[in-house]
Amino acid sequence: MVDPTSDLGEAVDEDSAPRCATCGDPAHGVGRRTVTWVDDGVVERRHFCGEACREAWSAGHDDLE
């Protein structure tokens, strides 16, 4: 059996990568960050291109840390 999801790996190109919630750049590569939390039973997720953008975003969302 071939698992169609097994070869996605890290081969995400810029067009399909999630966008950084702070600067809008593609959030991919080794420096990317993802923040996940649950709000009223719904999983929310934000992607960032790097630690600096994640910190800039979380500075305005202290309640989520």
Total residues interacting with Zn ion, rule: CB under 5 A? 6
Name the CA dihedral angle for 56, 57, 62, 64, rounded to a multiple of 10 degrees: -140
The interface mask with Zn ion, positions 33-62, x = CB under 5 A, is: ----------------x---x---------
21 counts as binding Zn ion under rule CB under 5 A: no
Q: Rule CB under 5 A: say whether 22 interacts with Zn ion.
A: yes
Sequence-separated (6 or more) residues with CB below 8 Å from residue 65? 58
Q: What is the rounded distance in angstroms from the CA atom of residue 3 to the CA atom of residue 23? A: 34
Q: Which parts of this chain interact with Zn ion (CB under 5 A)?
A: 20, 22-23, 25, 49, 53
